[in-house]
């Protein structure tokens, strides 16, 4: 009975995920068409340069997780996970999809929740450092006399205030606090 229920839940989840992908493609179809047009206009030499760099990027990301993992992991699996995480990040913004994919993969490969969280967190911290260094390096070669003005709008203020208010309300609810405490306890044990 449990396997039937589990299979039904998997089927529903797969159907929902397929619907999410279809909605994403439909919503961004004009961007796909424009991207295909731009890619079609590129000279062939550009592909010979960019494709190896793209594949190397995924390989380096997989290598990073291999070094950070607490248990031995296969490079081929890690490479596929990197490709999967890239897709998940396109569906769920801000890298949250990729975080979930990596955490779930590590947990399924005999890492505790704390170990998986530590590996994913350190990897993201390394990514932040590397991207910051790349940005600083690029800024040293670029003309910095750029007229850029950031203006804080009323909408941004309201959005931040509502987010903080929602967070405070959620944290003040006893049930949420208990779940957070349970999560923290499970993470540290």
103 falls within a domain: yes
105 pLDDT tier (thresholds 50, 70, 90):
very high
CA distances from 62 to 51, 86, 114, 127, 129 (A): 17, 12, 20, 13, 17
6 falls within a domain: no
Tens digits of residue pLDDT in 57-83: 999 999 999 989 999 999 999 999 999
| 7 SS3 class | helix
Q: Give the separation between CA 187 and CA 189, rounded to whole angstroms.
A: 6
Same domain, 98 and 135: yes
Tens digits of residue pLDDT in 13-51: 888 888 888 888 888 899 889 988 988 888 888 888 888
Domain that includes residue 164, residue range: 151-189
């Amino acid at each position: 009975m449990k396997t039937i229920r589990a299979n039904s839940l998997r089927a529903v989840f797969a159907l929902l995920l397929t619907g999410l992908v279809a909605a994403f493609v439909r919503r961004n179809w004009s961007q796909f068409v424009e991207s295909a047009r731009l890619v079609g206009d590129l000279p062939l030499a550009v592909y010979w340069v960019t494709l190896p760099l793209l594949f190397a990027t995924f390989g380096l990301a997989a290598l990073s997780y291999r070094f950070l993992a607490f248990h031995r992991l296969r490079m081929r699996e890690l490479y596929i996970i990197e490709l999967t995480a890239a897709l998940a990040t396109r569906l769920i913004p801000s890298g949250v999809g990729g975080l979930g994919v990596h955490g779930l993969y590590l947990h399924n490969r005999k890492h505790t929740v704390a170990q998986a969280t530590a590996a994913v967190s350190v990897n993201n911290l390394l990514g932040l450092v590397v991207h910051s260094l790349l940005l600083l390096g690029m800024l040293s070669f670029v003309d910095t006399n750029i007229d850029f003005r950031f203006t804080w709008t009323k909408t941004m203020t309201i959005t931040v205030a509502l987010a903080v208010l929602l967070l405070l309300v959620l944290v003040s609810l006893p049930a949420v606090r208990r779940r957070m405490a349970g999560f923290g306890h499970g993470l540290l044990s």
